[in-house]
């Protein structure tokens, strides 16, 4: 079943396509996070820590409910709390579960120089294979959502795997399993979009005229999507990017620059070679030595 397929369709730092024969005919997977149903209980954080055997430091209170204060190699998902006063003067407490969005066009994978350290499965999950990771952090540079984190212990990059181990055996991700209000659901991307459409209709009936689905086209869509009350202003949700895309700089760096650079170097070398063959070396002969001697005698 395609939901479970861990066939690798894309690998970081490779130049030829990976096996494509087995497609995700029943649809790629997606996790839908309905921010409007989320109560910020952090059960998803605990489930993530428990399933993935992660334990972050016991930190401090920084004046926010966000704990730990940021994502890390030990914190792959994190509730971020934002207080927003809407134009009507009413307060809204926008609570967003942050974590890897599993982009269809993943900036991390594009940026990664280590073959096979980042892969994309046929079902859409973007996974890090830390054994191949060289710790350069280019995935962070490439990610439009600021998700991967390098461990201080082993200098390898970590992030949410969408519980690829669970999904591969037909289970939903741990955070989905634990979410008490059903704010996180999991299934095929089509089903999730359908579910989101119903939620959005309900939200619009409750006065959220800009309610919508966050499935940003700039990264080819994502396999983690949000239902937002204010889909017109994603930045309200603790700086969720309004229009995320792989940055032009990264695109150039990991795109056109690569072949052009090799071409430039080869072309330079080739130019030299052709010059050598066509015109030949510039040699100093006995006549030059003689001229030099005469020159020397003139001055002395």
Partner 1 sequence: MSEPKRGEIERYAPATRINHWIVAIAFVLVALSGLALFHPALFWLTSLFGGGAWTRILHPFLALVMIIAFVLLAAKVWADNFMREDDWTWLERFREVARNREENVPEVGRYNAGQKLVFWLIVICLVLLLLTGIVMWRAYFTAYFPIEFVRFASVVHAISAVVLICGIVVHIYAAIWVKGSIRAMTRGTVTQGWAFKHHRAWLRALNRTAAPPRK
Partner 2 sequence: MTNHWVDIKNADVVLIMGGNAAEAHPCGFKWVTEAKAHNKAQLIVVDPRFTRSASVADVYAPIRTGTDIVFLGGLINYLLTNDKIQHEYVRNYTDFTFLVKEDFAFTEGIYSGYNADKRSYDKSSWNYDIGPDGYVRTDPTLADPRTVYQQLKLHYSRYTPEMVERVCGTPKDKVLHIWDLIASTATPTRAMTIMYALGWTQHSIGSQMIRTGAMVQLLLGNIGVPGGGMNALRGHSNIQGLTDLGLMSDLLPGYMSLPKEAEQDYDKYIATRALKPLRPNQLSYWQNYQKFFVSFMKAWWGDAATAENHWAFDYLPKLDKPYDMLQTFELMSQGKVNGYICQGFNPLAAAPNKAKMDGALAKLKFLVIMDPLATETSEFWRNAGPHNDVDPAKIQTEVFRLPTTCFAEEDGSLVNSGRWLQWHWKGAPPPGEAKSDLEIMAGLYVRLRKMYQTDGGAFPDPIVNLSWPYANPASPSAEELAKEYNGKALKDLFDPKDPTKLIHKAGEQLSAFAELRDDGSTSNGCWIFCGSWTQAGNQMARRDNSDPTGIGQTVNWAWAWPANRRIMYNRASCDPAGKPFNPARKLIAWSGTAWTGADVPDFKVDEDPSGGMGPFIMTADGVGHFFARAGMAEGPFPEHYEPFETPLANNPLNPSQPQALNNPAARVFKDDREAFGKASEFPHVATTYRLTEHFHYWTKHSRLNAILQPEQFVEIGAALADELGIANGSKVKVSSNRASITAVAMVTKRIKPLTIEGKPVHTVGIPIHWGFTGVAKPGFLANSLTPAVGDGNSQTPEFKSFLVKVEKA
Provide φ and ψ at 5, rounded to 5°. -65, 125
Nearest approach, Cβ of 262 to partner 2 (angstroms)?
47
Residue listed under structure tokens 């001055």: 299
Contact call for residues 263 and 243 (beta carbons, < 8 A): no
CA dist 25 and 102 (Å) reads: 19
252 interacts with partner 1 by CB under 8 A: yes
Taking the alpha carbons of 237, 239, 240, 241 in that order, is the dihedral positive or negative? positive
Nearest to 51 by CA among 181, 173, 186, 183: 173
Size of the site for partner 1 (CB under 8 A): 54
238 interacts with partner 1 by CB under 8 A: no
Q: Which residue intervals of 174-255 are DSSP H helices?
A: 174-178, 189-205, 248-254
Determine which residue in the list 146, 180, 217, 243 makes contact with partner 1, applying CB under 8 A. 146
The residue among 59 and 272 lying less far from partner 1, judged by its C-beta, is 272
The residue among 149 and 223 lying less far from partner 1, judged by its C-beta, is 149
240 interacts with partner 1 by CB under 8 A: no
| Residues 254-283: x where in contact with partner 1 by CB under 8 A, - otherwise, as a string | ---xx-xxx-xx--xx--x--xx--xxxxx
The residue among 67 and 222 lying less far from partner 2, judged by its C-beta, is 67
36 binds, among partner 1, partner 2, none (CB under 5 to 8 A by kind): partner 2
209 binds, among partner 2, partner 1, none (CB under 5 to 8 A by kind): none
Nearest approach, Cβ of 203 to partner 1 (angstroms)?
32
The residue among 85 and 283 lying less far from partner 2, judged by its C-beta, is 85
57 interacts with partner 1 by CB under 8 A: no
The residue among 94 and 175 lying less far from partner 2, judged by its C-beta, is 94
Contact call for residues 117 and 158 (beta carbons, < 8 A): no
Q: What is the CA radius of gyration of the chain?
A: 27
The secondary structure element, H or E, covering residue 126 is: strand 126-128
Burial class of 79 by CB neighbour count within 10 A (0 to 12, 13 to 18, 19+): buried
The residue among 217 and 260 lying less far from partner 1, judged by its C-beta, is 260
42 binds, among partner 2, partner 1, none (CB under 5 to 8 A by kind): partner 2
239 interacts with partner 1 by CB under 8 A: no
| Residues 197-226: x where in contact with partner 1 by CB under 8 A, - otherwise, as a string | ------------------------------
CA 20 to chain centre: 22
The residue among 40 and 216 lying less far from partner 1, judged by its C-beta, is 216
CA dist 185 and 146 (Å) reads: 23
The secondary structure element, H or E, covering residue 119 is: strand 118-121
Burial class of 205 by CB neighbour count within 10 A (0 to 12, 13 to 18, 19+): exposed
Which residue ranges make up the site for partner 1 (CB under 8 A)? Answer: 13-15, 113-115, 132-138, 140-141, 146, 150, 155, 247, 249-250, 252-253, 257-258, 260-262, 264-265, 268-269, 272, 275-276, 279-293, 295-296, 299-300
């Amino acid at each position: 079943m395609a939901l479970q397929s861990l066939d690798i369709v894309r690998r970081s730092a490779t130049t030829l396509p990976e096996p494509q024969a087995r497609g995700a005919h029943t649809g790629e997977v997606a996790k839908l996070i309905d921010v409007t149903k989320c109560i910020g209980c952090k059960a998803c954080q605990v489930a993530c820590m428990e399933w993935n055997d992660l334990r972050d430091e016991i930190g401090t209170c920084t004046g926010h409910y966000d704990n730990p204060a940021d994502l890390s190699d030990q914190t792959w998902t994190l509730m971020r709390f934002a207080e927003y006063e809407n134009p009507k003067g009413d307060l809204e407490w926008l609570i967003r579960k942050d974590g890897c969005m599993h982009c269809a066009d993943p900036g991390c994978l594009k940026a990664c120089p280590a073959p096979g350290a980042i892969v994309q499965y046929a079902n859409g999950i973007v996974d890090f294979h830390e054994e191949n990771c060289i710790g350069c952090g280019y995935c962070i540079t490439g990610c439009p959502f600021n998700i991967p984190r390098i461990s201080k212990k082993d200098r390898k990059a970590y992030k949410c795997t969408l519980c690829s181990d669970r999904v591969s055996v037909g289970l939903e991700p741990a955070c989905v399993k634990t979410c008490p209000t059903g704010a996180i659901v999991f299934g095929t991307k089509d089903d999730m979009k359908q579910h989101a459409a119903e939620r959005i209709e309900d939200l619009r009936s409750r006065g959220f005229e800009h309610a919508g689905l966050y499935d940003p086209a700039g990264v080819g869509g994502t396999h983690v999507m949000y239902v937002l009350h204010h889909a017109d202003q994603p930045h309200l949700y603790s700086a969720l990017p309004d229009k995320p895309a792989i940055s032009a700089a990264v695109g150039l760096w990991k795109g056109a620059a690569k072949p052009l650079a090799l071409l430039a170097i080869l072309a330079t070398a080739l130019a030299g070679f052709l010059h050598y063959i066509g015109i030949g070396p510039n040699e100093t002969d006995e006549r030059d030595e003689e001229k030099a001697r005469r020159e020397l005698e003139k001055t002395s």
